[in-house]
Amino acid sequence: MKDQVQEVLNIIRPSLQADGGDVELVDVKDGVVSVKLTGHCAGCPHSTMTLKKGIERFLKEKLPAVKEVVGV
């Protein structure tokens, strides 16, 4: 499943990079995806919204086995 999550993150990545940020996959365990936001995303006050409303929503839509996305 980790490879599938990485493929979906690669779809999202250009949008984050356009704003000077990025996302790094840390781990996938029991449907919980751990990611690290980097660049401008790391310190952005909207990073929680990006994580939950953007990345998590998109991953759940593409991969129903994903239960949650958490930032580390």
Residue entry with tokens 């250009």: 14
* SS3 call for 49: helix
The whole-number pLDDT of residue 51 equals 92
Look at the chain and report how many structural domains it folds into: 1
**Domain extent for 27:** 2-71
pLDDT, mean of residues 57-61: 96
Chain segment 6-43, per-residue pLDDT in tens: 999 999 999 999 989 999 999 999 999 999 999 998 88
* 68-71 and 21-29 strand pairing: unpaired
Residue 44 has pLDDT above 90, yes or no: no
Tell me the pTM: 0.91
Q: Give me Rg for the CA atoms of the chain.
A: 11
Distances (CA, A) of 43 to 2, 21, 56, 58, 67: 26, 10, 18, 22, 25
Q: Encoding tokens for residue 42?
A: 């790391």
Residue 63 has pLDDT above 90, yes or no: yes
CATH classification at residue 53: 3.30.300.130
